[in-house]
Amino acid sequence: MDKDDRENQIISMKIPMERIGVIIGKGGEVKKYIEEAGQCRIIIDSETSDVFIEQGGDPLKALAASEVVKAVARGFNPDRAYSLFTENYQLIVMPLREVARKGSNRIKDIKGRVIGREGKTRRIIEDLTDTMISVYGDTVSVIGDYVSVKYSIEALQMLISGKKQRTVYAYLEARVRDLKMEKLNENLS
């Protein structure tokens, strides 16, 4: 594949209409930052809410740019989503429809359990695992490095399956040492 073929590769996605303005940002600043950091061009169709990311340079940076756009579309503040340009950071989106019965209030209940009173549960999981969590629409999304995301997802799955918050906190507190050791080993290798 020559350079011209590579430059024409396009990643496309549909995003929620209400998040288009956030992806563009005041005066286009968010879009411009993502384009520069991702060595790409972003084309937004504000009528259909389709977003196209045209690779212009490094394909990995364009892929990271698409993950940043996806993170903003899933409710993250752009400043938090920019962390996906950091090596080893990833975005995991957990669809809640897969665990909830159709027509039930289960999704609303799950979201409430994940967020907790005044955001306490989400904040504790973020602090203990060094991740960022967004609850938006019918999804729960996590940004962090591989090891941190692994523990955060485990905690979220425990909550979704009905475990009490204090059980999840105890699990995470017991794993904080493991988490720190895994991160240290990962950084050394």
CATH number at residue 107: 3.30.1370.10
- Are 148 and 62 part of one and the same domain? no
Q: Cα 108–14–24 angle (5° rounding)? A: 95
Domain count, the chain: 2
- Are 94 and 184 part of one and the same domain? yes
Q: Which of 58, 85, 112 is the last residue of a domain?
A: 85
Q: Which of 85, 104, 130 is the last residue of a domain?
A: 85
Model pTM greater than 0.85? yes
From the number of C-beta atoms within 10 Å of its C-beta (0-12, 13-18, 19+), residue 125 rates as buried
pLDDT of residue 116: 92
Q: Which of 85, 108, 126 is the last residue of a domain?
A: 85
Supply the DSSP string of 111-139, one letter for each residue: HHHHH-GGGHHHHHHHHHHT-EEEEETTE
pLDDT, tens digit only, all 189 positions of the chain? 334 444 468 999 999 999 999 999 999 999 999 999 999 999 999 899 999 999 988 899 999 999 999 999 999 999 999 999 998 899 999 998 877 655 557 888 889 999 999 999 999 999 999 999 999 999 999 999 988 999 999 999 999 888 999 999 999 988 887 777 776 776 676
- Are 104 and 69 part of one and the same domain? no
Tell me the residue range of the domain where 169 lies: 89-188
